[in-house]
Structure 1
Amino acid sequence: MIEAASAALGEGRGGEPPSLASLSAQGIGVSSAGDWIALLKPRVMTLVVFTGLVGLLVAPGHLHPILAFTAVLCIAVGAGAAGAINMWYDRDIDAVMRRTKNRPIPAGRIRAGEALGFGVTLAVASVLVMGLATNALAAAVLALSIAFYVFVYTMWLKRRTPQNIVIGGAAGAFPPVIGWAAVTGGLDVMPVLMFAIIFFWTPPHFWALSLWAHTDYQRAGVPMLPVVAGATETRRQIVLYTLLLVPLSLLPWMLHQTGAIYGLSALVLGLGFLASVWRVARDRQDAAGVSLTGDAPAKAAFKFSILYLFVLFAALAVDRMIG
């Protein structure tokens, strides 16, 4: 049904997607369950849920399995709610970016107001349930993470500064802190270190993406670093943040918060990440604004960065459980 509706809509002149105004005028709103799930940014949610789960697993103490599942579910729902509100706010730029023009709102399958209501409802519900199931601190940090992503990153920073992803990246660093707080009701050195690792991981991860998608951001008027400062400076910043990230990732082991399993894993993964970004630094394929190919070093580094964080946090969980 959705495919038929999309075919009936057709495309605008020049092969561009239909405008939001034309979609609204036609009253388009045909959606499926998959569209509502897409609003939650499930790929992003996967990483958020995993790091939140690791925060919960490595925390000292015990949480009943049902309550632990509820806490992780609240982290997932809260992250999805922030993603839905982000899609509502960014629907204008999503419509002109190749990567995002088929999202449910710019494609006309979900109305903007419905998406906003959906996101706000899930956000409020996730915080309330987290507070009832665990404790006030976990609920407060969850609320802070949602508010930070929506108001600080999406509404304030994203369209104003190339440092948007540096400061705004804090939103994605909260989940392990939430998981830890759900178990302990407090904070300690370890959740701060987990937060810092994700915080410093975010810029090289996202700037690698922006290198091979810079034309999209340029078209939408989003001041990502490659658009504002150029590819060469972006590569330099990617290397710089990775050089900061690798020793930082070793701190949990150096401070005796973890054992050798994590320490060795962090070292090997860090060297792999450095090798990946070094290839990005040496690449000049996009020096003249030429579109990057599918196997470009920037795209490879982006993919490796996701693997890096997954394996690093998995090693942390295994190390703490065995230890």
Structure 2
Amino acid sequence: MNRRRHAIATLGVVCALTVLASPALTLQASAAPLPPPPPTQPKKTLEEVRQEIDGLYRQAAVATDAYNLAEEKAKEQSGEIVKLARMVVSGQKRIDDLKARAGAAARAQYRNGGLPDGAQFVLTNDPQLFLDNAGRLKEGQKATSDLLAELTAEQELLTTYTTDASVNWTKLEDNRLKQAAARKEINSKIDAAKKLESQLAAEERARLLRLEEQAQYRAQTAWVNSGVLKGLTGKATPEARRAVEFATAQIGKPYVWGAEGPGSYDCSGLTQSAWASAGRPIPRTSQEQWRLLPHVDIKDMRPGDLIVYFKDASHIGMYVGNGAIVHAPRPGRNVTIAGAGSMEILGVVRPS
């Protein structure tokens, strides 16, 4: 009987403890709720992906222009440093020669007993000798004066050459840093674009290409329908024909940023090389070609002229007639013929 009462009492304690513990457990659970699931990002449409990829390649093109400009400036500065170094060597040789001549004059004076020629002439007892040598004394004094003036001038030039070389070296290092930063930017944008494309299935990539072609076709159609080509009668000059022939001969070669041929090109590398083949050097980048070459109204456009694209002048192609251009489009594409109005036109420039 006692054992039964003890079991009942024990059971009652356990139940009481359970009841007392339950609110605490409920409070603890309510005090730390589970975080809500992250919002689901809406999947981008293929057109949005196309625009994003196009934007990344555009940014890479801007960085490529910066790289090409820094490279061109670095080449100029390297050439200037070499030229200045040669001038420093030549100047130093000239100074050494002048010093040797001055030393020879000093040694001659020493051999004459330490007296200058003028004093020796004054001390002579022969009036005729004095008269004969007076003219030569005057000439000698002028020669000595000229020698010292020339030596001073050469030393000043040498100092200038050395300073200029130092300035150009600083600029060279600055442009090398710009090249490195631009190279990093280019690769970053291209890698991001390739990553986006790689995440698409094969069928989606094919559709992406069709979307790209359709967007270009719509832009070209609207451009032609605007009547922009009506009245274009300009004929290519002999130099322009050579440039066009060179550019079209590169069709099928791959786009590579920073490339100037012969196996691959970027957009401005193609136009620069084409005009160089015609004997007309032009700036390296599309932005510099737009800035420095003469501008032409579209209604006066003729084959061989260069059409510059986008507000930042980040792309360029060569007009070949009949509303078409030859250009190096972007990474992953080859040099090709395209509609001149298939992209946003900034303006037209004429190298010849």
Tell me the TM-score normalized by structure 2. Answer: 0.24
Judging by fraction of residues, say which structure has more helix: 1
Give 1 or 2 for the bigger CA radius of gyration: 2
